[in-house]
Amino acid sequence: MAICDAHRHGADAEVAICDAHRHGAGAEVAIRIEGLSKSFGPVKALDGLSLSVPTGKVCGFIGPNGAGKTTTMRILLGLLPRDAGTVRVLGEDVVFGKELGVRSRMAYLPENPVFPEKHTGLEVMDLVAGLYRLDPRTARKRAQMLLGEFHLEKASRRSVGTYSRGMKQRLGLAACFLPEPEVMILDEPVSALDPEGRVEVFDILTRLKGKSTVLFSSHILEDVERVSDSLLMIKGGRKVAEGPMEELLTRFAADRLKVRFRPDHVARGKDVLAGLPWVERVSDADPPGTVLVDVRPAMMDEALEETAFRLAGEGLRVMEYSRVRTDLETVFLRLTGGQPPAGR
């Protein structure tokens, strides 16, 4: 699966995956959205959004605040009507106001999980098991195991009203995992967790790869990069990028070079670099003497081939010269129109 160059239109445009490279068809796609639009009064939350999530993959769903992530999720769950487009989950059309059979195969965690008042953690798990019609004995054992895994064993007989936000998020995750759903939709699943809790949750998500399809949103891009097989990036209700994580990172990593000059050649080296036609931006980085070179879109081959040659031609002494492996945050900022901080 690859991102087609022919469909790549620069930083602000959609990075599409051509039909031949789409994530399979039918059973290979757990979630498929096509031409989805939704407005709230004059505000266009989603604008012809199309995307697909391959079966059995963990898919990170990212975008700036107000990009339309939660709206997309709510439409996927049938909580919100759409203005246009189609939404299919596990082959079933999601239509607002219609009973969905597919709900027995999905689970959802909102950003701020809420539970029925006056219930204990264990009762919430029993309720979820009952709604999914799980065998009560098996479900109880699994519930206790999950509560233990999420460090809620001691609090399991306390009212959820006494839980902290982090505890509620962990209970919400345990409740999602209980029925072993085929599709999980998680909205900021670790936003209230400490670093240790985040690692634990993502370890569990990693173990689910191949078993469940997970679509999760997060603003912690480091986590998204670590755990996701594929990535969906939206901005202003439109898709900005979609594809396997490694391919996206590789694709965008190719647009940056790192050059380290001998200390007395740094200033002149920067001047020379800034004058090259394929260079978009030059910024300082650590260690001293290091310069990051942002290359204009689609000019990386030329930049790789010519930059070192030009620098050598100017008599500049280069200690290090390499392509930068861009992290997701940089990719995100570039595709959403932000600027990566100097030095990254």
Partner 1 sequence: MGVLVGKEIRQAWRSFRLPALFLVSLFLAIMDPLTARYMGEILARLAQGVTIVVPPPSPGQAVAQYLGDIVEIGLLVVIAITMGSVANEKASGVTTFVVTRPASRRSYVAAKFVVLAGGVMAAIIAGTLVAGLYTWTLLGAPEWGRVGLAALSVALYVWLVFSATFAASMVAGSGLAAGGLGLATMIVMGAAGAVLGGTEVGPYLPSVLVGNVQFLLAGTGDVDIWARLVRPGITALVLSALFLLLGYGRFRRQPLP
Q: Which residues sit at the interface with partner 1, rule CB under 8 A?
A: 74, 77, 79-81, 96-97, 99, 103-104, 106-108, 110, 112-119, 123, 127-128, 130-133
| Minimum CB distance to partner 1, residue 15 (Å) | 31
CB 122 → partner 1: shortest distance, Å?
A: 12
Smallest separation (angstroms) from partner 1 to the CB of 162: 13
User: Judged by CB, which is closer to partner 1: 180, or 246?
Assistant: 180
Q: CA 76 to CA 216: how far, in whole Å?
A: 13
By C-beta, is 57 or 82 nearer to partner 1? 82
CB of 95 or CB of 274, closer to partner 1: 95
C-beta of 168 vs 256, nearer to partner 1: 168
Do 291 and 285 meet the contact criterion of CB atoms below 8 Å apart?
A: yes
Structure-token pair, residue 131: 């709604």
Asked if residue 193 lies in contact with residue 167, where contact means CB atoms within 8 angstroms, the answer is: no
Indicate the residue among 160 and 291 with the shorter CB distance to partner 1.
160
Residues 6+ apart with CB under 8 A from 175: 107, 109, 113, 124, 125, 128
Distance, CA of 255 to CA of 325 (rounded, Å): 9
Distance CA 55, CA 110 (A): 21
Question: Is-cis flag, bond preceding 64, omega within 30?
Answer: no
CB of 103 to partner 1, least distance (A): 5
* In the complex, minimum distance from the CB of residue 81 to partner 1, in angstroms, rounded to a whole number: 7
Return d(Cα 293, Cα 289) in angstroms, integer: 13
Closer to partner 1 by CB, 26 or 97: give it. 97
Instruction: Quickly list DSSP for 183-236.
Output: EEEEESTTTTS-HHHHHHHHHHHHHTTTT-EEEEE-S-HHHHHHH-SEEEEEET
Nearer to partner 1 (CB atom), residue 126 or residue 200: 126
How far is residue 287's CA from residue 343's CA, in Å, rounded to a whole number?
10
Name the minimum Å distance from CB 227 to partner 1: 23
**For partner 1, which is the closer residue by CB, 127 or 308?**
127
Quote the CA–CA distance of 206 and 204 in Å, as a whole number: 5
Choice between 169 and 307, CB closer to partner 1? 169
3-state secondary structure 61-109: EECCCCCCHHHHHHHHCCCCCCCEEEEEECCEECCCCCCCHHHHHEEEE
What span, in angstroms and rounded, lies between the C-alpha atoms of 125 and 110? Answer: 16
Q: C-beta of 71: minimal distance to partner 1 in Å?
A: 10
Smallest distance, partner 1 to C-beta of residue 91, A: 17
Main-chain dihedrals φ then ψ at residue 288, nearest 5 degrees: -50, 140
119: left (phi over 0), alpha (psi -120 to 50) or beta: beta
Under a CB-based contact definition with an 8 Å cutoff, are residues 50 and 239 in contact?
yes
Shortest approach of partner 1 to residue 199 CB, angstroms? 26
